[in-house]
Structure 1
Amino acid sequence: MSYDYPDIDKAVELIDKSKSPVVMIGGGTKGYSQLISQFSERIGAPVIYALNGKGVLSDFDERVMGGIGLLGTKPSVEALDKTDLLILLGTSFPYVNFLPKGVDVIQVDSNPSNIGKRVRATVEFVGDVSDFLSKILPRVKEKDDKFYVRMKDSKEKWFNELNKKESDMSKPMKPQMVAYELSKVFTEGVVVVDTGNVTMWGARNFRASGNQRFVFSAWLGSMGIGVPGAVGALFVYDKVLALVGDGGFAMTMMELITAKKYSRPIKVVVFNNSKLGMIKFEQEVMGYPEWGVDLYNPDFSKLAEAIGIKGITVEDPKDLPSAIKEMSESEELFVLNAIVDPNERPMPPKLTFTQAKNYVLSVFREKLEPSEEE
């Protein structure tokens, strides 16, 4: 569907005068990777993504800085700190504290109720992202000084920082290593990521190739979506990988029976730390001792075998690549039970533990204290 954009001249003017534009993408940009790539290259803009925008472009693309928010990356934070123009494409990102203030905003969304919902937009466009980009691409000037090039060192430093945990051969295994090693092998298909600490490892350490489709419970944050979500996805797609925490897996693991019954050869990786890890972290940053977060887990690989599913438990990081290889080459249902470090914290980008504590406290205060309007 084609739309009429009476304010497109204003958008072109803002983009052409901008020295440091940033493109932020969400779920409304899925399927438009080529147009977004052309647009960001032309205007020299780094691309950051809300959780639902992961995988639209490759994480290895030099323009892509990564996610934003508590699950985000340092280069994305730095890009937003330096920007003078934010271009929101198909996203209604709710955590406005992570967005820049006092800059011009261009917002494009097919849902009119999302326009101006989070931040005040300087120029608003109700319509399809692909239609907007097709109209504006021929009109904006090619920038010689590209902002994403200036962000190159920041991204390289961030990847090097991530690599320290992703290549750590200590025991228990680092969950970051598991996510990263999986991303090197499962470069196509659908990746369903459950809710909890595993969301962090999936969002940050599982590098998108640009050929996968990622599924998160981004708005509801529902635990237990991994296995049933993967079963459903495999009725539509040929390759489906589920990343699940042990807490979320325990809630819906009997859906493996459904997968077996209907011959859905999903691949399930359990990040098994015998804890409700995110709750443990929240208790720590609030200053409380951990309480009620221990899990009594069965041997998940044996559980899988009892259903007639191939199962492997991996504790030593040296055994991880071969286990992932075996799983990827299998044509059958497969459960990989990865024993990971329960004390690995899902730290936000650019925040120390003390800063994370203060941030969580501020969020709780906002929820508990009535606003002046109320």
Structure 2
Amino acid sequence: MKIALLSYSTKPRGGVVHTLALAETLAGAGEDVTVWSLGRGGDTEFFRAVDPAVRLRIVPFPNGPATETVGERVLRSIDVLGAAFTPDDYDVVHAQDCISANAVGNCVRTVHHIDHFTTPELAACHERAITTPHAHICVSHAVADELAQGWGIKAEVIPNGVAYARFATTPETQRRRWKDQLGRYVLTVGGIEPRKGSLDLLEAHAHLRAQDPDLSLVIAGGETLFDYRDYRQRWEARAQELDLEPVMLGPVEDDELPALVASADAFAFPSTKEGFGLAAMEALAAGTPLVVRDLPVLREIFGKTARFADNPRTFATELVQAINENSPQRKQAGRALAAAHTWQAAAEQHIAFYRTLM
């Protein structure tokens, strides 16, 4: 099959990580795979090297005027990607997000999670990206249930894979470098934004510091298409009120990330909305104690391998208990769960699903 996988960005976001890993595994299975994406701000390549068996088509997408709104940027993204894409070249056209789904229209769509936008342009794009595709995939049953209840759409459930060996086998020298730089720390990955529960984690850090003053909060990542300046300003003001100075790493080089995760005393995942929780699954692969928000989808995915919390105070309590317990049994169960989620299995399920459509 000639397969096109489409993404909206070359940056290290969960959906982009998913797209590249799936593309490489499909290509390894003998499929003809091309990944299409927008190259924002002059990007000509992805955040990491991609297996040469996968063709790449990165469509230039220069920065717009300073006055461009998020809604305008999204609409321009759809227009630019749609104008460049060549659908007749492929047997399967598979969009991984709202922007690429709008750009190509009738396609297979992976719905990683369901957003709720108030901006009219974004709300309309989100709706079209759900209703226009002719087939749907979800990475969890919880999101598939949302699609069924909200739109009457039946989706195929194909869980994420995880690069288990990459996170489970980080060299001691790399882990020691992060420990020497950061000391003891709780890590979260995803930057500061509402969906990531950043304000709640900040409040949890205040409770945590009262119990363990030497434990810092480290925040990695943060690349996003959306404008969260107001939320970021609220977060910074609250950090100042609480006299907190979390360590802001920003985007971390791809080859440095596994050691950063493995060196953390605990991994915090306070997202208010998720489809799977790939970063949290990578933490399990690394053997790092995990505390997540108590959401049905995260109960489904992580079961007894994680601790669950529903407010800042309980998040702090669970983080302390996770660090102090550091249970070998829970760590072993977490690693087994992560190891069971292979990209090979995900690719095989995708291929079988594609064939039913052809």
TM-score by length of 1: 0.28
Larger Rg: 1
TM-score by length of 2: 0.29
**More helix, by proportion:** 2
